[in-house]
Each structure stands twice: as structure tokens, then as C-alpha cells.
Amino acid sequence: MAPNAPDQLLRALSLSDAPVESPFPELEIDLSEDDLRETAYEILVAACGYSALSARTQTKPRAGFHTVSALTHRGLRKAALALGSKRDRPIHPASKDKKRPPTTGEIVQYQMRIDEESETRIRRALLRAFSQQVGKPVECMLVPLELLQFIGPKDFTNPAHYDRWKKRQLRVLESGLLVYPAIRSEGGDETLSQRVQKMLDELQSNSEISKNSEEWNAFKIAAVAKAGQSTSGDHPSSKLHWADGYPLNVHLYLALLLSTFDTLEEGQLIDEIDEVLEMFKKTWGILGINEVLHDLCFMWVLFNQFVAAGQIETDLLLTAQEHMKELAALVNNHVVVNGAQAVKDSLTTIHSWCERRLLAYHEIFPRGAPGVMEAILSIGLSAGRILAEGAHQGATKRKAKDLSSFESDKVELYIRSSLKAAFAQMMETTDTRRRSFKNGGVQRPPLAVLATDIGQLAADERAKYTPVLKNWNVCAGGIAAATLHACFGREVSQFVTGLKQVGPDVLQVLKAAQQLEEVLVQIAVEDAVDAEDGGKSLMREMQPYDCESSIEKLSKEWLLGALVNLVEWVGRNVEHEDWRPKNTREGRYAESAVEILSIIDETMEAFFGLPFSSNPQYVEQLVSGVESAIQLYCQKTLAGSGKKERYVPSLPPLTRYNSSAFKKIGQQLQKNKVVTPGDSAANDSPRNEELALICVRINTLHHLSTEMQYLGKRLKQGWRNEAPSRGELQSGQSAAQSMTFMDLAKELDKGVQDLIEIASYRVAFFDLRSVFWEGLYAGGVKEARIDNVIEQLDSQLQVVAETVAPSLRNRVVGALMKSSMDCLVLVLLAGGPSRAFSLDDADLLQEDLFLLTELFTAGGDGLPEELVTSATAQIQGVLSLFSLKTADLIERLREVYPEADTGSTSLFKSNAAIVPRTTGNWGPTEPNTVFRVLSYRGDEEAGKYLKKTFNLPKKVAAPKRE
């Protein structure tokens, strides 16, 4: 079929559900379906004859039009068997007496929708007509003329109804005598025809003409003369030809046949079809119907009703096909002469309707519908063969031999055509996917998706359609596979042409093409068992896709490029990450982490689609590239957060207590202290935001660490699945070990810890600087307790609770507790000249420490008690010094720092003792700790000792000007 055939089929498909066009010519005269139905009934009543009409006048209700006899017409009994009673209807609605079954005549009257008034009119008029023509056969009666003679306006309750009835009778006469005469004579016939036409026109326009008038009698004579003409020109003929002209006679007979369908159940033949058809046979003489025309008309009615009733009653098609076979036999026996063209037109219409649907059966029968499709296929092929045999009559033996594979060739045409149409529709979707793929709307390459869809189409074809189609073509499955292989092959060929490098999308397409080809070839091979040539022709048709060489050539280039792009992506994108938390669970970590994991996942997925994915060398290359990218990500994440050391303030120079200076400092602090409602909240916002940003970084590295362990397991499993042999597994043990990403996970976890410490030190020493490092105990313990610090810390803990991943929350809070303790220790030991402590402050400091630890334990809902106890051990040791008297502190210093005794006995400043070195290991036995507690002791005794022993000044001298 031509490449553009699918487009033509899709256009034809739009007509497939339209009502099927009748093969019989439409009547050129104004006769509606109701007119034809009523006229057909009148002819039927007349055809039943005088005896039947007389029986209807008797009082016995069982009398009918005729006595039902056994069927004589071939095919009618088959119709009854195929479409027999499917209903349980005890009393037929046509019955005049509900206590008895209806007669055949009553059923026909009911089916043809003839009311009782009309039936009575017809019967009485025909009885009078028969009474005046005793002994004459019904074929010598001009029924409309007799009805016009014996039915008048008084027989109608409504004059308008009579006028319509009269005009119908005159139109029927005009149609049968003048428009569609069965016998056309030349010469004098023209004059007679003109005279009849003129009289008909006058009767139609003049309703006052009496039936006893000369005009009426003249019309009767002319009409009978016209109807009585014979082919030889003799007059009169043995019968009157007024309703047997084609196609009027066919339309009238079709009206009768349509009444065999139940008026209550669409698509169902009535139970009494045998008796009714036998009755209809009585009209053959009047209508000029023979066995050929009957089979033709009934075949068409069955087929047309199948279409009109929703195309589900397959029994109608089977019965229609039986009549078609009868026609075929008559055609072959040269019985058909005058009706040959009508037979050809009917078969052509049926064949064309069926073929339109079969050329696109995937669209028409999306779920398979084997019963309906098989029935349509059967009758369509039967009609086509009869037409083909008719066309080949008289042809050479060589051409006649071609018909031996008629059904097989037709089915192959339908398979290829429908699959090409289905493929064309798939390509429309693929073109849409291509545009979306270019814009990033879909992730999987459209051709790879198309290959999957075609594989599904092939599976559906094999399951739903091939079992039906194989009844006429044993290679149906192989033909379908070859057709799909060729359709997709053109797309693959265009795709491969001009490729310069391979990416995940290219690899997916080529691998999908290989997989699809394997499936289609397997179908063709299995189907070839029944083929005459063993399927060789189909195998030759399925030229292999040239994908392997392209994959091998471009795969290595892809791996290197993918890893380079991965590192470059990190370099470009991480620096632009805003690190702001989102309102979702996934929003606890950065979008860039989600993206890089997605890229790695896609890279790994694509990697195991490569032909060398089981090679340890390339696995190690993949692992190394991924590690480099994640390490760079970790470095850039840490680099944007600074170092924790930068937040720890420099320790101020030590001085001894100066009472006057301390009072001035306290007064100045009180003077500068302004407490305004809302200030704390106003300052919290930027601090909380900064903490949240660092928390997202923490979550992100932790998420990467977790995911890398998972990716390591997945990579290892994927490699094992791809490795084809145990030997290759053993040779790649080093690669398998490197797949765990354990070192990378440790590096990420260290980065998490660094960020936690940075966050905690930032909070304690930077975000809370004004209330903690600068404000706590400044000017005196009682004037600046720890309440403000706790309030600010609580705000920061809320940020931690809302932002940090649950699995990390205790680590972050614990680090914040430690940094808070460190800051508190520095406030106590290196708080500068604004701070001084007395022995009375010891209990207050213990209370503040208790309040601070309560913040972190949260009444049992916070950090574990043992963790808090461990974290406060150092500061508890420091606070123990604050409860010692000054003399005891001096003694403690001498114990832990013997050099202090040297200074105390010196008479000169130059011989003052050296101040203990600051180690940062604060504790009750550490010399520098004891020395600092003594330095901040706010009494004269401590000041004199420090002056005498260490020559410690009261204040730091201002720098000299140059």
C-alpha cells in the first residue's frame, strides 16, 4: 500500500459509522416510507385473496389472512433457527383476544402499524372488488384503482385524512403506470401515457369528480389499458403490470420485509417469521418478485438492520450471508438476468461497507470484538468473492486461478492497512511527545515510548485479532509483525542517520528498537510454521535494524560526556541555590540535591543500558565520576557557610576588678538599655532565616549521604544483573567494593557535622551576640540574668524543629546546647570589664544554668538527660569555683599553679608571676580557669592579690597615637 494510505484510510474511517447507503435507486415520485408501508399492506391484503378476506368477516376470532403452510423458500428456516425466539412473551400485543395467540394476519397488521379502522376499510373495499370480479386472479386487479372506487370520504372521520389517502393512491398509480412501468412500449404507448398522466393530474387537483362520472370511467379504462400492456404489444396481457416495475416493486417488498423485525426489540426478528414470510410470498405475482429478488431484498434488509441496530446482532449477518450464498448459486447458474445489476450493486455496497471497517479494524474494534468482527469479515469476503467471480467470468484460466487466494490476499490487505493506520495515529502522538521532549515536558525519548507502544500493539494484535484473521490467512500474525517491523524500521533509520554522539535518549531508543525487533521476529517465526514457504518471504521482508554498531560506537563517548556534564552541572548550579526551606517534607533539603540525584539516577539507568555496563573498568569510571560530582557539591555547600571559628570572639585582655569603673559601666549599660515590645521579634526574623538556610544545607548533605548508600546498593545490584558470567563477577570484585560509596558517605557525614557546628556556633556567638556574649551578666548578675538568652534560644530551637530533618534534630540541638555552654563559660571567664562576680552570685549562676539545661531537656521531651549532664559537666566544674571564697580561690590557684607563689613574694613589678597560659580546657583544676575566676571576682582582696602577684592592671591602656 502507498505510504500515504493511512491518511486515506483515516478519512474513510469517518464514514464507517454513518448509515449504510441503500443499493436500490431512490424513488423519483413523492412516496414516503409510510406511504410505501401502507401500500404494501394493501397489496398484501389483496394478494391473500377473497377466501382470506371472507374468513376475516366471520365471527371466529382465530381466522387469519391464510392458512399457514410449511416453508418452501430456502433460507427461511435458517433464519428462524439463527434468530429464533429470544423472548418470553405469553400474549402478543397484536392479539385481538387476549385469551388466544394472534393470527398471522393480526401480527402483520400490528408489525406494519395499520390501525383497525384502516384495516377494516381496506378489507371491505377489496371484498366488494373481488365480488365484482369473481374468478379473476388478483394479478388482474389494479388494487389502488379498486380502493379508489370503493372507498370514499364517508369512510373517513376526517376529510383531510381522505384527501391524503386519495393522493397516495393516485401517486402509487402514477409511479407504477408511468414513472416505473414494468413494460415500456413504443408508439401508441406514448399517447396512452400522456392521457393517463393528464387524468391523474386532474384527479389530484379536482376532488369533486364523481366515481360515476365519465371522467372517472375514462380514467379507469385508460389505467387498466396501461397496466395491461404486454411486451409483445398484445392487449390485454394475462396480468396487470402496475406494481412490478423496478425499483418500485423492491421498495414495496422492502416495506413488507422490514415488518419482520420486532417493533419492541430493535434488531430482533419476530418469532413468527416463517409464517409471515410465507404470507409475503403471495405478493410475488403482483410485485414481480422472484426468488432472486427475494434473496436480494431480504439479504439487504438483514444487513441494513444489523447496521441500524448498533452492529451487535451478528445472527443477522449470518442469516444475510446465507441469502447471499443463495444469490451466488443463482448467479453461477445464470438464473439472474434482469436483476443482475441490482445484485451487483447490493453486493458492492455490502462489500464496500465491510471493507471500510476492516481496513481500519483497530479503530473500529478497539477491544477486539471477535464475534462482530468475524461476522463482518465473513460476509464482506463472501460479497467480495461473488463480485470477483462475476468479474472473472469468461477470463483466462490464469486469471481465474488468482481467485484461489482471494480471501487470504484480502485479509493481508486489511492487516497491513489497519496496522499502518494505527501506526499513523501513534506517530501523531509521537510528534506531540517530540515537542514536549524538546521542551523538557517528558523524560523518556518519544521513539522509545513508541517502540513500547508498538510492542503492546503487537501483543494486542496477537491476542485479539490474529485468531480471527487466521481463519482466512494462516500467516496473519507474521504479516502483522512484518508490517509493524517495517513501519518502525523507517523511523529508526531516520533517527540513526546523522547521529554523531549517543546520549541516554539515543541509547534508550536503540535498545528499545532491538527489544521490539526481537519480539516481532519471534512472532513471525512462530507464525511461519503454518506458512507454505516456512515464512521465508516474511523473514526476507524483515530486514534487521542496524542498531548494534551505532550503540557500540557511541556508548563510550556518552559515558565520558555524561560524567563531565555531571560535574559541570554541580559547578554551575549549586552556587545559585537559595537554600530556603519549602513547605513540604521534600523541602527540607535543597532542590539542587534532588536534581543531582535525579541526574545520577538517570545516568546510572542509562549506563546499564550500555553494552559494556558489566565491564568493571567502566563501572569504576562511573563511580569515580559520581563521587567527584558529589564531593564538589559538598565542598561548595560547606564553602558557603563559613567556619565555626570565625564566630568565636577573641578573648579580651584580662584586668582585675575596678569598682568605680564597673559602676560606671553598669550605669552606662542601664542608660543604653532600651526595651521595646516587638524588638526581639524584629531581630529574630533575619536570625531565624539565616539559621534555616544552614539547616537546609545540613539536611541536604545528610540526604545525599543516605541516598549515596542506596545508590551504591543499586549500582552493585545493577552491575551483578548485567554481568553475564561468574568469571566476570569474580574479576570485578574491586569494582564491586567501590560501588558502596562508603568513603563518600563518610565525607558527606563529616560535612553534616561541620555544618551543625557552624550553625550552633553562629547561633550562640553571632545571632545571640547582643543578649548572650555582650548582654548576659553585663553590669551585674542580678541586672542581666539569662532569661533573654533563653527566650532567644527558644526561638532558634523552633527553627531547628521546623527545618531540620527528624533524624538529625537531636544532633543539631545537642550541638546548639554545647555551643551555648561554651558561650556561657566564656561569658563567665572572659566576659571583659563589664562583668564581675561576687560570692553571692554563685547561687544565681547555678539557677541560670538550671534554666538553660531545662530549655534543652524540655521536661523530658527534649534531649536525653544523660546527654545534657555530659554537656554541662565542664561548666559545672567552672561554677564550683564561683562558690569559693576569695581566699580559697587564691589557695586553689597556688595549688594548681605554683608559679603564683613566686609573684606574691616579689618586691618589684618586673618579677611578677607569669599569667597562666590559656588552654581552653576549662575546669576547676585548670590554672587559667582558676585565675580567670579570680580576675572577675568583684572584691578588693582579689584585686590586691592580682596586683601584687601578677601585676594585673585595672584597665587596658588606650593605644598610643603615632
What the block records as the C-alpha cell of 194 is 400522456
* Neighbour-count burial of 954, counting CB atoms closer than 10 A to its CB (0-12 exposed, 13-18 middle, 19+ buried): middle
Q: What angle do CA 745, 747, 752 make, to 5 degrees?
A: 90
Q: Distance between CA atoms of 863 and 818, rounded to whole angstroms?
A: 12
Percent of the chain with pLDDT over 90: 41
Q: Which pLDDT band holds residue 607 (cuts at 50, 70, 90)?
A: confident
CA 164 vs CA 150, 167, 571, 584, 664: distances in Å? 16, 5, 93, 79, 126
What the block records as the C-alpha cell of 4 is 500515504
What mean pLDDT comes out for the span 584-611?
A: 81
| 765 and 818 Cβ atoms separated by less than 8 Å | no
Question: Residue 395's pLDDT is what?
Answer: 53
Q: pLDDT, tens digit, for every residue of 13-41?
A: 444 456 788 899 999 999 999 999 999 99
Question: Residue 757's pLDDT is what?
Answer: 92
Average pLDDT taken over every residue of the chain:
82
Q: How many CB atoms lie within 10 A of CB 134?
A: 7
What the block records as the C-alpha cell of 600 is 545520577
| 313 and 373 Cβ atoms separated by less than 8 Å | no
Buried b (16+ CB within 10 A) or exposed e, 341-360: ebbbbbbebbbbbbbbbbbb
pLDDT at 810 over 80: yes
Question: Residue 233's pLDDT is what?
Answer: 53
The contacts of residue 845 (CB under 8 Å, 6+ apart) are: 781, 828, 837, 879, 882
The contacts of residue 841 (CB under 8 Å, 6+ apart) are: 781, 782, 882
pLDDT at 501 over 80: no
| Helical segments of 367-465, H only | 370-391, 397-401, 406-438, 446-460
Q: Which pLDDT band holds residue 165 (cuts at 50, 70, 90)?
A: very high
Lowest-confidence pick of 56-60, 369-373, 450-454: 56-60
Question: Residue 79's pLDDT is what?
Answer: 45
Domain residue extents for the chain = 33-68+98-289, 411-546, 551-650+707-745, 884-962
Q: pLDDT, tens digit, for every residue of 699-747?
A: 999 999 988 888 888 777 765 555 444 344 444 444 445 556 778 888 9
Output 681 or 554, whichever has higher pLDDT. 554
Q: Distance between CA atoms of 665 and 660, rounded to whole angstroms?
A: 9
pLDDT at 8 over 90: no
The contacts of residue 122 (CB under 8 Å, 6+ apart) are: 41, 42, 45, 114, 147
Q: pLDDT, tens digit, for every residue of 344-361?
A: 889 999 999 999 999 999
What the block records as the C-alpha cell of 218 is 375514462
Q: pLDDT, tens digit, for every residue of 272-300?
A: 999 999 999 999 999 999 888 999 999 99
Question: Residue 845's pLDDT is what?
Answer: 95
Place of cell 416493486: 249
Q: Is 675 helix (H, G, I), strand (E, B) or coil?
A: coil
What residues pair up with 937 in beta bridges, in sequence order?
A: 837
What the block records as the C-alpha cell of 250 is 423492491
Q: pLDDT, tens digit, for every residue of 291-350?
A: 889 999 999 999 999 998 888 888 898 999 998 888 888 777 766 555 678 888 899 999
Q: Distance between CA atoms of 305 and 320, rounded to whole angstroms?
A: 10
| 373 and 468 Cβ atoms separated by less than 8 Å | yes
Q: pLDDT, tens digit, for every residue of 355-388?
A: 999 999 999 888 776 789 999 999 999 999 988 8
Q: Which of 228, 293, 287, 291 is nearest to 47 (CA)?
A: 287
pLDDT at 270 over 70: yes
Output 764 or 206, whichever has higher pLDDT. 764
Question: Residue 820's pLDDT is what?
Answer: 93
The contacts of residue 480 (CB under 8 Å, 6+ apart) are: 415, 419, 458, 461, 462, 465, 466, 523
pLDDT at 955 over 90: no
What the block records as the C-alpha cell of 176 is 407504477
Q: Across the chain, which distance is largest between two alpha carbons, in Å?
A: 173
- Taking the model in full, what pTM does it have? 0.58
Q: What is the separation, in whole angstroms, between the first and last Cα of the chain? A: 102
pLDDT at 677 over 60: no
Question: Residue 439's pLDDT is what?
Answer: 66
Question: Residue 81's pLDDT is what?
Answer: 43
Q: Which pLDDT band holds residue 88 (cuts at 50, 70, 90)?
A: very low
Q: What's the full length of the chain, in residues?
A: 962
Lowest-confidence pick of 325-334, 390-399, 444-453, 534-543: 390-399
What mean pLDDT comes out for the span 943-958?
A: 84
**DSSP helix, strand, coil percent of the chain (3-state; round to 5):** 70, 0, 30
Q: Distance between CA atoms of 280 and 370, rounded to whole angstroms?
A: 35
Question: Residue 127's pLDDT is what?
Answer: 92
Q: Which pLDDT band holds residue 585 (cuts at 50, 70, 90)?
A: low
Question: Residue 93's pLDDT is what?
Answer: 66
Q: Which pLDDT band holds residue 612 (cuts at 50, 70, 90)?
A: low
